[in-house]
Structure 1
Amino acid sequence: MEWWLIRHGLTSWNVDRRYQGHSDVELLPNEKHGLEALSRKLKGVPFSAIYCSDLLRCRQTLKYVLPDLDTKGVHYDSRLREMNFGEWEGKTYDMLKDIPLYCSWIDQPKCYTPSGGESWQQFEGRVNEIYCELRDISLNSNDPVLIVTHGGVISMMATFMNSGSNFWEAARVEPGEVMKVTVPAISR
């Protein structure tokens, strides 16, 4: 079972190193050009299913990398969203570094929750749910599944595929890049 995991293209918040989370930030105006190489790589690949985060930056990425795609067959799913950073969204590390809760979360993200945001356990559970669903769907096809999502979701899925791996070291996919993975039939 092969998955092609695409991290959405570049946004102004990526450039500014702002937490995006559930904020619906659009791609940079010239990002269509930046995604052309990825578009060429995907051309003609017979994906058995296409899943995409429902946030604008992912929907735009999908449109740019597969411009001829009939989107009626695309499964837009909110479970593929980035972690919800609550009140920290739109802010940078420098804006947050003096807030005690933020410092505690940086050191121990599984023990603290961003104000108004999602706990680590909620994020992990949400991603695990869609991961298991996609894994089961993939069992019925020899063709790859395309998933357009966010960096945190890709890292979380990588930890599920590689039992014992560390979230922060499991996968590093830059905006607009694809990671091809073979998904174990049974994991998690």
Structure 2
Amino acid sequence: MNVEWWLVRHGLTAWNAERRYQGHSDLPLLPGEASGLAELRRELAGVDFAAVYVSDLRRCRETLAWARPDLLDGAQQDPRLREMNFGRWEGQTYEMLKDNERYRTWIDDPQAATPPDGESWQAFEARVSGVCGEFLTRTEALAGSDSISNSNSSFGSLANVRLRETFPPSAVRLYPSLPLTASQPLEPTRLLIVTHGGVISLICSLLQPNLSFWDTRVGPGGVKRLYFREEGEPEVEKEAYDE
């Protein structure tokens, strides 16, 4: 099995530049190369993807249209790939909110507080876990095996299960690059997922129990690749993350 997920964060918006919470607010990208997507366009050029998924928010759809317009018509839009809903905090900055007691509690422990009229951490995690489980099922089908890790786990039922309790951590490895070996196909099967920074961080922490949400950071227009290998294949030395 040789399957990759390419997790792409959308390009820059005006609120990114101003360090404002965006969440479900549907802002466009900054125009032209101000969106910071020139490198992403070069990185995705000519790459084949078995399936393409994109958050239904404008900044993600525009990112895909800017970087790979040929993939836009076939992309599956999914609102579960949206960023966390920050409610009345959207459009606000840290400086504007830092004296708010509820905000301070949320910053220290996002599971203990919910943005006013926003989304709880538990709801955010549940919807991302759901779509992640479906991606795992698709990955399993693409791999053509009964189980990603040669175990008895049923990935089709993961929508309502915490992935970190079910998915064997040895079956997923996260590297900034993966050298080819003689046992690996030259051309992997790839999924392209265009989404938001918080969603990427959460997916990585769900699939790797040794990672916290805060351990993965991807800048606007950045790519985080997840490499799926069966147990028993050659180990690959872990490299430093390249954010």
TM-score normalised by the chain length of structure 2: 0.72
Among candidates 194, 212, 237, match of residue 148 of structure 1 = 194
Higher relative contact order (CA 8 A, sep 6+): 1
Alignment size in residue pairs: 184
Preserved contact between residue 26 and residue 57 of structure 2 (Cα < 8 Å): yes
SS in 2 for 1:46: coil
Give the equivalent residue in structure 2 for 1:89: 90
Rounded Cα–Cα distance in structure 2 between residues aligned with 1:183 and 1:131: 14
Using the TM superposition, give the Cα deviation of residue 30 of structure 1 relative to its aligned residue in structure 2, in angstroms: 2.6
Q: How does 1:36-47 map to 2 (within 5 A)?
A: 36-47=38-49
Using the TM superposition, give the Cα deviation of residue 158 of structure 1 relative to its aligned residue in structure 2, in angstroms: 0.5
- 2:21 aligned with 1:19, yes or no? yes
Rounded Cα–Cα distance in structure 2 between residues aligned with 1:125 and 1:64: 30
Deviations 1:120-153 (A, max 9, x none): 0000001000001011111222510000000000
Segments of 4+ in structure 1 off by > 4 A?
none
Deviations 1:52-111 (A, max 9, x none): 000000000000110233x33210000000000000000000111111111111111011
SS in 2 for 1:19: coil
Rounded Cα–Cα distance in structure 1 between residues aligned with 2:38 and 2:212: 32
Q: CA RMSD in A?
A: 1.7
Using the TM superposition, give the Cα deviation of residue 32 of structure 1 relative to its aligned residue in structure 2, in angstroms: 6.8
Preserved contact between residue 6 and residue 179 of structure 1 (Cα < 8 Å): yes
Deviations 1:15-42 (A, max 9, x none): 1100000000110113477312211221
Larger Rg: 2
Q: How does 1:99-110 map to 2 (within 5 A)?
A: 99-110=100-111
Rounded Cα–Cα distance in structure 1 between residues aligned with 2:49 and 2:218: 20
Preserved contact between residue 161 and residue 184 of structure 1 (Cα < 8 Å): no
Q: How does 1:88-167 map to 2 (within 5 A)?
A: 88-141=89-142, 143-167=189-213
Rounded Cα–Cα distance in structure 1 between residues aligned with 2:90 and 2:228: 31
Amino acid at match of 2:32: N
SS in 1 for 2:206: helix
Amino acid at match of 1:6: V
**Structure 2 unaligned regions, length at least 5:** 143-187, 231-243
Amino acid at match of 1:83: M
Rounded Cα–Cα distance in structure 2 between residues aligned with 1:151 and 1:133: 20
Identity of aligned residues (%): 53
Give the equivalent residue in structure 1 for 2:221: 176
Q: How does 1:28-39 map to 2 (within 5 A)?
A: 28-31=30-33, 34-39=36-41
